[in-house]
């Protein structure tokens, strides 16, 4: 059986400790170790740059470094090489800090023997290899998810384009309006996938960015109706999972398009205000208001015949498990208290 050679870099300034570690590794039959010695961090960094090492054994205090400074410098230069701290300092706090700074292990010199040292080296190398495999697997899955979001967005945009082509042959104004509303809903869902594709975080949608882009797109789509309308957004820095982001986007789309079509007749000037805020760990609110002509006195969300209003009711009460409060004063005023469907990050750091 061919022995597998393991290249070890020992960074140690104490000659006695160098001899001790060298002797421990020399007496091992399996695996076969080759040892390179560096007396300080600067020498170690040169060795790591010049050759490949399977593991670094690092003293905590050296002539050109103190504490965990040397660990940070080595990890920064060669993050794929596991580093085991060898120190005479028996401190749980220091050991914990070392592990937090990506040390593979923390061994106290007075307590190690040949078996403990060689086992620590083997485990550190194996953990690093496993970690690298997991990272590669995660990266591959992220690439697939990103591509899936990209293709979903493209497919939705194709559907939107088909609707545009179909609209060119439709003469009935009511049918044209229905097709435009349908197109807006498709583009609202498409925008979520576009944001996920562009984001580093493939799980969460930045709601500030999403609602801002969505509302700007709606204003551009209804350019003539929106000429004299001002948009006022108050969106907290929240991230939502796609299961929450899409219904929120569809609610905003339905309310905005309804306002732009009906709230400001004869190019009347007006303001649309949208706010989204976290209430607690499980609840958030969307408040939508405009200062337009207002809702009919007999307006009722549950019995409305409009598909858009029905959609708002279903999304808010069924999908997001919340409730909608409507004020019948000047303009439209919708206050929605909604539940998160899943756990996700509440705010950006």
Rg of the chain on CA atoms, in Å: 31
**The total number of structural domains that make up the chain:** 2
Task: Quickly state the pLDDT bin for 347 (edges 50, 70, 90).
Answer: very low
Given 78, 112, 146, which residue is the final one in a domain?
112
Asked whether 17 and 38 are in contact (CB, 8 A), the reply is no
Q: Which residue has better confidence, 159 or 3?
A: 159
Residue 334 confidence (pLDDT): 93
Residue-level pLDDT at 343: 53
Identify whether 300 is part of a domain: yes
Query: Which residue segment(s) compose the domain that 69 sits in?
Result: 5-112
How much is the pLDDT for 333? Answer: 92
108-156 pLDDT, tens digit per residue, is 887 888 888 888 888 888 888 888 787 777 677 767 777 777 788 788 8
| Same structural domain, 332 and 213 | yes
Length of the chain equals 349
CATH of the domain at 103: 3.40.50.2300
Is 212 in the same domain as 77? no
242-262 and 207-221 helices, crossing angle to 10°: 30
Q: Is residue 349 part of a domain?
A: yes
344 and 235 in a common domain? yes
Same domain membership, residue 347 and residue 210: yes
Average pLDDT of the segment spanning 30-38: 81
End-of-domain residue from the set 96, 112, 128: 112
Rounded to two decimals, the pTM is: 0.61
Q: 139 to each of 53, 128, 143, 201, 282, how far by Cα in Å? A: 25, 16, 6, 12, 30
In a domain, 45, yes or no: yes
213 plus 323 within the same structural domain? yes
My answer on whether 97 and 215 are in the same domain is no
Q: Are 332 and 289 in contact (CB under 8 A)?
A: yes
In the block, tokens 């108050």 appear at 234
Residue 333 lies in a domain: yes
HSE-CB at 100 with a 13 A cutoff on CA atoms is: 7
First CA to last CA distance, the chain: 53
Q: Is the pLDDT of residue 286 over 90?
A: yes
Contact between 165 and 176 (Cβ < 8 Å): no
Helix crossing, 114-167 with 173-198: angle to 10°? 160
Q: Residue 342: what pLDDT?
A: 57
Q: Is residue 211 part of a domain?
A: yes
102 domain-assigned:
yes
Q: List C-alpha distances in Å: 164 to 156, 182, 218.
A: 13, 11, 16
Residue 36 lies in a domain: yes
CATH code assigned at 252: 3.30.565.10
**Residue 127, SS3 per DSSP:** helix
Instruction: Pull the structure tokens for residue 311.
Output: 């959609």
Is 104 found in the same domain as 216?
no
pLDDT above 90: residue 28: no
Range 69-94 average pLDDT: 86
Residue with tokens 């044209």: 176
Residue 52 has pLDDT above 80, yes or no: yes
From 77, 112, 147, give the residue that closes a domain. Answer: 112
Please state the rounded mean pLDDT for residues 18-23.
88
Q: How far apart are CA 136 and CA 127, in angstroms?
A: 14
Instruction: Please give the mean pLDDT across all residues of the chain.
Output: 85
Q: How far apart are CA 277 and CA 275, in angstroms?
A: 7
Position 132 in a domain: no
């Amino acid at each position: 059986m061919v022995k597998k050679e393991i290249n070890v870099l020992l960074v140690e300034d104490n000659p006695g400790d160098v001899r001790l570690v060298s002797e421990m590794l020399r007496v091992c039959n399996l695996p076969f170790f080759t040892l390179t010695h560096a007396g300080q961090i600067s020498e170690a960094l040169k060795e790591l740059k010049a050759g490949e090492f399977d593991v670094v054994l690092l003293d905590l205090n050296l002539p050109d470094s103190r504490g965990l400074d040397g660990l940070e410098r080595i990890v920064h230069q060669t993050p794929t090489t596991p580093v085991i701290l060898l120190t005479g300092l028996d401190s749980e706090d220091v050991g914990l800090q070392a592990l937090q700074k990506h040390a593979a292990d923390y061994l106290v010199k007075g307590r190690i023997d040949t078996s403990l040292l060689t086992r620590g080296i083997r485990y550190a190398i194996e953990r690093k290899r496993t970690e690298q495999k997991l990272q590669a697997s995660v990266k591959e899955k992220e690439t697939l998810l990103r591509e899936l979001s990209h293709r979903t967005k493209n497919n939705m945009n194709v559907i939107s384009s088909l609707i545009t082509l179909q609209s060119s042959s439709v003469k009935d104004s009511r049918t044209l309006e229905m097709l435009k509303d349908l197109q807006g809903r498709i583009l609202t869902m498409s925008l979520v996938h576009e944001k996920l594709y562009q984001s580093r975080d493939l799980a969460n949608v930045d709601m500030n960015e999403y609602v801002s882009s969505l509302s700007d797109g709606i204003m551009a789509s209804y350019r003539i109706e929106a000429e004299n309308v001002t948009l006022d957004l108050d969106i907290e820095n929240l991230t939502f999972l796609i299961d929450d982001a899409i219904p929120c986007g569809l609610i905003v789309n339905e309310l905005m398009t309804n306002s732009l079509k009906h709230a400001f007749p004869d190019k009347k000037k007006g303001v649309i205000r949208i706010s989204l805020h976290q209430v607690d760990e499980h609840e958030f609110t969307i408040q939508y208001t405009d200062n337009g002509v207002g809702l009919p006195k007999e307006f009722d969300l549950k019995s409305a015949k409009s598909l858009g209003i029905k959609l708002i009711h279903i999304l808010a009460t069924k999908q997001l498990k919340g409730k909608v409060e409507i004020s019948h004063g000047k303009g439209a005023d919708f206050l929605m208290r909604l539940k998160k469907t899943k756990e996700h990050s509440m705010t950006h750091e």
